[in-house]
Amino acid sequence: MSRLSGMGGRLYRGEKSFNIIGNRRGFYALSGIVILIAAISLSVQGLKLGIEFKGGSQFTLTSPGATIAMGQQAITDSGITSETIVQKIGTDKIQITTKSLTNAQNDAVETAIVKDFKVAIGNINVMSIGPSWGKDITHKAIQALIGFLLVILLYLGLAFEPKMAQAAIVAVLHDIFITVGIYALVGFDVTPATVIGFLTILGYSLYDTVVVFDKVRENTRSITSTGKYTYSQAANLAVNQTLVRSFNTSLIALLPVASILFVGAGLLGAGTLKDLSLALFIGLATGTYSSIFIATPILATLREREPAMKALAKRVAQRGPQVPGDVVVIAGVADTSNIVTSTHSKENRDRGPRNQPKRRSRR
């Protein structure tokens, strides 16, 4: 572990650096391919919607020794002829899912279950969803999404810079699209809990992006006056400096979600917890990816188009042998064993905090 945190130090000083901004085309292409796959699977397979969206009834009961055949028998007994799905969950749970039923039909199914499984009527869990309900919650989720994106655009525009807000929103859309695509591809059930998960991802994906952007803003504050680095170089340093932090925050956020997923899927079999945590898990992972590999490169692309930044890039290019858009090395000690693609000039060597006259530490 100390190796990891030691690496944090090297990343911080820029001794070791991943050229993320420079390779942005590669990351864009990667995300583009994933999004393409997502779009194809979404249009071909579509999402597997839970009954909350389609309307229908779901009866769940716990009875030791319950079998699927017994569930089918109960359906036959109740006189329901429309399509039904009988599933076994865990060791002793049976779930019967039907199309939309009338009140009387609902009662008939319950009566049949009581008779066939010999369980008390109060021990049957029933969820029955009207056909228009799904439309309504979908509508609301979209409303919430649009409202959220607008408010965030405004807030980040004020708190940071308008271009940061744009880049952050692109990253969020990227996450949503990929998450939805994965759902379509794998065929996970989409329930309201999943929607909650999606919407939460928005917040979390932004949280991560905000942390990175905060550092970008700090690093780029005085770049035009110093003229040492281009915007992309400074941004790349920021991403590298926050890499360990991003890794840690994401891991720590994933741990509780993973434990919900473990308990929800492993022990409960299905339900709110599983649906929610699965969406969160996928979303958090893509959120972390996008805040590093998508949001910041887009920000750099946007800012590099500004005349001031173009001029800066020219100035930096003239200054030294550094390749524009390449990685900056602040401190001299080069750990070239890894990934560093920069060529650093001699006069670059003695810069950086480590080489500043050292204050006597007060120990």
Partner 1 sequence: MSANISKSIKSQAKPGRTLAILAIILVAFTALALIQNDKVKLGLDLRGGTSVTLQPRVAKGGNVSSAAIAQAVAIIRQRVNSLGVAESQVTAQGTGNNQQIVISVPGDTGTRIVDLVGQTAELRFRQVYAVGAASAKTTSTSTTSTTKVTVPKPGAKATPTPKASTPAAVNPTFPTGVTADLNAKFGLLDCTKAANRQGGNIDDPSAPLVACNRDGSGKYILGPAELVGTDVASASANLDQTNGNGWMVLLNFTGSGTTKFGAITTRVTKLPSPQNQVAVVLDGLVYTSPQINQAITGGNAQITGNFTQVQASDLANVLKYGALPLAFDRGNVEQVSPTLGANQLHDGLLAGLLGLLLVVLYSVFYYRGLGVVSVGSLSIAGGITYLLFLLLGKWIGFSLSLAGIAGAIVSIGITADSFIVYFERLRDEVRDGRSLRTAVDTGWTRAKRTIIVADSVSLIASALLYFFAVGDVRGFAFTLGLTTIVDLLVVFFFTKPLVTLLARVNFYSSGHPLSGFSAKSLGVVTRKDVA
In this chain, which stretch among 18-26, 125-133, 293-301, 336-344 interacts with partner 1, using CB under 8 A? 125-133
Q: What whole-number distance in Å separates Cα of residue 214 and Cα of residue 134?
A: 39
- Please, which residues bridge with residue 95 across strands? 60, 87
- Nearer Cβ to partner 1, position 82 or 155? 155
Residue 197 contacts residue 285 (beta carbons within 8 Å): no
Q: How far is the CB of 17 from partner 1 (least distance, A)?
A: 14
- Nearer Cβ to partner 1, position 95 or 230? 95
- Within 8 A by CB and 6+ apart from 176, the residues are 145, 198, 201, 202
Radius of gyration of the chain from its Cα atoms, rounded to whole angstroms = 27
- Nearer Cβ to partner 1, position 23 or 100? 100
Q: Among 79, 147, 187, 321, which residue sits at the site for partner 1 (rule: CB under 8 A)?
A: 147
- Which positions from 168 through 227 interact with partner 1, judged by CB under 8 A? 192-193, 195-196, 199-200, 202-204, 206-207, 210-211, 214, 218
Q: How far is the CB of 87 from partner 1 (least distance, A)?
A: 16
Nearest to 62, CA basis, from 86, 93, 95? 93
Nearest to 68, CA basis, from 8, 117, 28? 117
Q: How far is the CB of 194 from partner 1 (least distance, A)?
A: 11
Nearest to 249, CA basis, from 209, 279, 282? 209
List the x/- string, 246-275, binding to partner 1 by CB under 8 A.
--xx-xxxxxxxxxx-xxx--xx--xxx--
62 near partner 1 (CB under 8 A): yes
Q: Among 148, 185, 334, 351, which residue sits at the site for partner 1 (rule: CB under 8 A)?
A: 148
* Runs of H (alpha helix) within 14-67: 24-44, 51-54
Q: How far is the CB of 128 from partner 1 (least distance, A)?
A: 4
245 near partner 1 (CB under 8 A): yes
Token pair in block for residue 263:
């308990």
Q: What whole-number distance in Å separates Cα of residue 50 and Cα of residue 58?
A: 10
Token pair in block for residue 22:
């420079």
Token pair in block for residue 188:
């996970």
Q: How far is the CB of 310 from partner 1 (least distance, A)?
A: 29
- For the CA atoms of 255, 259, 265, 269, the dihedral, rounded to the nearest 10 degrees, stands at -170
- Which positions from 73 through 112 interact with partner 1, judged by CB under 8 A? 103, 106-107, 110
- Nearer Cβ to partner 1, position 85 or 119? 119
Q: Among 41, 97, 277, 288, which residue sits at the site for partner 1 (rule: CB under 8 A)?
A: 277
List the x/- string, 26-45, binding to partner 1 by CB under 8 A.
--------------------
Q: Among 43, 132, 318, 337, which residue sits at the site for partner 1 (rule: CB under 8 A)?
A: 132
Q: What whole-number distance in Å separates Cα of residue 296 and Cα of residue 170?
A: 11
